Amino acid sequence: MDARDIAIINYLQGGFPVTDRPYAEAAITLGITERELIERLENLLEKGVLSRFGPMYHAERLGGGLTLAALHVPDEGFDRVAEQVNGFPEVAHNYQREHHLNMWFVLATETPARIDEVLAEIERKTGCRVYNVPKIEEFFVGLRFEL
């Protein structure tokens, strides 16, 4: 990655034009050509620096359900439970964290009602109590890195 790649990433984390030639438009701001911008994006996606280039959706507005939930999993059963939880297609992210509640996962479902059903299935399958902590209010939506 060079300075131009960094400039591209910083700029395009903030948005992308919705016009007939958006790459050309963004390229002007970045002081490069449309072709160079497209090639650099291809390269950054291929190298895995970028996971995606596209939309970030608001799950609830799409009509779906979204929540964060946690489990306390005893150390000796951790890998087995991780496999069971990750086996649910509705589980989007799953992290092991250093705490008594040591497994934290995000659930995204087609309908809001499915959230409780899937959490109940997870509870039954793993034998671990599920702590459901859905978002009540959002104070910031960034996940943006200034490089």
Q: Would you say 40 and 1 are in contact if contact means Cβ atoms under 8 Å apart? A: no
Residue 7: strand pairing partners: none
Residue that is written with structure tokens 């060079």 in the block? 2
**Residue 87 per-residue DSSP state:** T
Q: From CA 72, how far away is CA 118, in angstroms rounded?
A: 17
Size of the site for another protein (CB under 8 A): 79
Backbone angles phi, psi at 17, to 5 degrees: -60, 145
Q: From CA 27, how far away is CA 102, in angstroms rounded?
A: 44
If one asks whether residue 38 binds another protein (CB under 8 A), the answer comes out as yes
Fill in the amino acid letter for 140: F
If one asks whether residue 95 binds another protein (CB under 8 A), the answer comes out as yes
Which member of 7, 36, 91, 116 binds another protein (CB under 8 A)? Answer: 91
Which member of 80, 99, 117, 120 binds another protein (CB under 8 A)? Answer: 99
Which member of 29, 33, 62, 77 binds another protein (CB under 8 A)? Answer: 62
If one asks whether residue 28 binds another protein (CB under 8 A), the answer comes out as no
If one asks whether residue 80 binds another protein (CB under 8 A), the answer comes out as no
108: left (phi over 0), alpha (psi -120 to 50) or beta: beta
If one asks whether residue 46 binds another protein (CB under 8 A), the answer comes out as no
Nearest distance in Å: CB 24, another protein: 7
Which member of 2, 31, 61, 75 binds another protein (CB under 8 A)? Answer: 61
Which member of 28, 29, 33, 53 binds another protein (CB under 8 A)? Answer: 53
If one asks whether residue 55 binds another protein (CB under 8 A), the answer comes out as yes
